[in-house]
Amino acid sequence: MEMKGEKGTPTSNGTTISSENDARILQLKVEKTELRAKLDAEKTENDRLRMIIRNFNKALYGSRSEKSKYILGDDEIQPELFNEAEMAQDDHAPEPTPETFVTTVKEHNRKKKRTRAEMCKDLPIEEVVYDVPIENRTDKSGRPFKFVTKKYVRSEMIIIPKQFRRINYYTNVYVSQEIDEATGKKLFSEAKVTPPVMKNSLASPSSVADVMTRKYVEGMPLYRQEQEWNRLGVNIPRNTLANWVIKPTESWFMPVYAALKDSLLQEKVIHADETTVQVLKEPGKKPDSTSYMWVYASSERSKRPVRIFEYQDSRSGQCAKAFLEGFHGVLISDGYNGYNGLAEVTRAGCWAHVRRKWMEAMPPNAKVETSKAAQGFAYCNQLFEIEREFKRLPDDKRREERRKRSKPKLDEIWKWLGSFIPEKGSKLAGAVQYTLNMKPYLCAFLDHGEIEISNNQVENAIRPFVVGRKGWLFSDTPKGATASATVYTLVETAKANGLDPYRYLLRLLTELPMFEGSPTPEQIESFMPWNTEIQAACSIQK
């Protein structure tokens, strides 16, 4: 008689394959496998989310340097933000001496620190002399003391707070002694007055330049400037300060802006990047929608450094295409596809962006021996180390050396990237995919000795805007955003040319109104930051 379990299956010798218990055990094994797979998937997702949180915390509180070999541990992420002075203060900290002015660092020496005499040599000097009271100038016998010398005690550098004055302008008027026969009236003659920076306003070139400098160079939003002016006894509302920014920009700066853009488009190399900006009253868009500030910069080797900011309501590639019309050189950018539609432009990638991807993929305390992300990060650093040796070479020689030394390193990187498969969805997979997607652009520097291997040139120009944005948060209107783009263009280009932004703006606001809004190209050229007269008048005093 053939025996069966309730769910058993007979074999050829009459036994059953599986009893009810065996079936249950098999079912439990399947469930265990499924649960383990689910647990592994959740662990992978948790690791990914932890990495996102860690990168977010590091972006907010951690070091921004990408030169470090390792990433800080979780307990090292947030620095002391509010008691930095108390944490760093040390009563026993030694003052610098002539022997400690030079600190030797790998491959170079730091610049000598300036002495107090050097820092103060151009400052006006006042003397404060403490004299001995008359009653203390005699000895016990009543004989007067004899003056010996004026003894030096110490020097101090004082600061005089901002001062305000109102200047009233008048013009002398003359009248003829005779009556004009044609009109029957006397003839009048009066001196020509320099046009104001703004009609029917108390604004002066110096006050407008000050407001612009503090907002766009120092990052002080207008509402804080309004508070400061009130504390100094001057009541200028914030909307008035906004007018002082927008109206002079529209009236006088646009021809200079256009000339700087034309100069940039004639360069062999342009760096490009973009960042977000919120504009509340953008037609056809919600107040919380995102607009963009596009930024373009000439190369590090340019003899005419230019930084151009352009406000646009979108990140469409058409914005870059319209701006760069007529440019036929090399464009260095990140991996944004919006730059792909540029005709007659050679695109080059940014190894600093690649390095950042590998850095973000590195787990805490990653080491080259145990982490693929750390290996990728190290490869990027090796490329930058090689580049430093070529920094002072002419373009042709640098291209030649890159093909000799950088190309083998690139070949090694591409071979290494094909030697492993990262976990799908991980930060490491993202770093690998980004690097491979950018491969054609990342190799472009081998054929162009005139370009750099990173887009840091434009990122350094865009940083003041990003820092300032944290203070003012948004622009009210497109007109204000455009004015901001124009002033950022002027001050960042001035800084790139070694000019003091305030003195450069003051020069523009003082002299451009004399041309009544229609300066000739020759006159505009005289205001370019590299003009010899501008350099002499506005250079930062060393």
Give the SS3 label for residue 291.
strand
Q: What is the pLDDT of residue 86?
A: 37
pLDDT > 90 in the chain, percent: 50
User: H/E element holding 105?
Assistant: strand 104-105
Which phi and psi angles does 25 have, rounded to 5°?
-60, -45
Asked if residues 452 and 398 have their Cβ atoms less than 8 Å apart, the reply is no
Q: What mean pLDDT is predicted for residues 365-370?
A: 88
Q: What is the pLDDT of residue 29?
A: 86
**pLDDT tens digit string along 133-182?**
998 888 888 899 898 899 888 888 888 878 888 899 899 988 888 887 77
Does 453 score more than 80 pLDDT?
yes
Does 70 score more than 80 pLDDT?
no
Comparing 28-42, 243-257, 298-312, the range with the smallest average pLDDT is 28-42
Q: What is the pLDDT of residue 476?
A: 76
Does 296 score more than 90 pLDDT?
yes
Does 397 score more than 50 pLDDT?
yes
Label residue 497 by pLDDT band (50, 70, 90).
Answer: very high
Which phi and psi angles does 395 have, rounded to 5°?
-55, -50
Q: What is the pLDDT of residue 323?
A: 95
Label residue 501 by pLDDT band (50, 70, 90).
Answer: very high
Query: Within a 13 Å sphere around the CA of 98, how many CA atoms are in the beta-carbon half?
Result: 1
Q: What mean pLDDT is predicted for residues 184-192?
A: 86
Does 215 score more than 50 pLDDT?
yes
What is the C-alpha to C-alpha distance for residues 441 and 332, in angstroms, rounded to an integer?
9
| Average per-residue pLDDT for the chain | 84
Q: What mean pLDDT is predicted for residues 531-541?
A: 92
Q: What mean pLDDT is predicted for residues 524-531?
A: 96
Tell me the angle at which helices 372-389 and 427-437 cross, rounded to the nearest 10 degrees: 40
Label residue 331 by pLDDT band (50, 70, 90).
Answer: very high
Does 326 score more than 90 pLDDT?
yes
Does 94 score more than 80 pLDDT?
no
Q: Regarding predicted confidence, which is higher, 121 or 9?
A: 121
What is the C-alpha to C-alpha distance for residues 215 and 196, in angstroms, rounded to an integer?
22
Label residue 284 by pLDDT band (50, 70, 90).
Answer: confident
Q: Regarding predicted confidence, which is higher, 332 or 156?
A: 332
Does 371 score more than 80 pLDDT?
yes
Q: What is the pLDDT of residue 103?
A: 41
Amino acid of residue 191: A
Q: What is the pLDDT of residue 287?
A: 81
What is the C-alpha to C-alpha distance for residues 245 and 484, in angstroms, rounded to an integer?
8
Six token digits for residue 408: 């083998």
Does 79 score more than 80 pLDDT?
no
Q: What is the pLDDT of residue 191?
A: 87
What is the C-alpha to C-alpha distance for residues 21 and 23, in angstroms, rounded to an integer?
5
Does 363 score more than 80 pLDDT?
yes
Q: What mean pLDDT is predicted for residues 256-260?
A: 97
Q: Regarding predicted confidence, which is higher, 488 or 344?
A: 488
Q: What is the pLDDT of residue 68?
A: 47
Q: What is the pLDDT of residue 468?
A: 74
Q: What mean pLDDT is predicted for residues 378-387?
A: 96
Does 277 score more than 80 pLDDT?
yes
Q: What mean pLDDT is predicted for residues 234-248?
A: 92
Burial degree of 59 (CB within 10 A; 0-12, 13-18, 19+): exposed
Q: What mean pLDDT is predicted for residues 439-465?
A: 93
Does 353 score more than 60 pLDDT?
yes
What is the C-alpha to C-alpha distance for residues 504 and 168, in angstroms, rounded to an integer?
24
Six token digits for residue 342: 């540029």
Burial degree of 62 (CB within 10 A; 0-12, 13-18, 19+): middle
Does 107 score more than 60 pLDDT?
no
Q: What is the pLDDT of residue 19?
A: 73
Label residue 216 by pLDDT band (50, 70, 90).
Answer: very high
Q: Regarding predicted confidence, which is higher, 187 or 503?
A: 503
Q: What mean pLDDT is predicted for residues 109-123?
A: 64
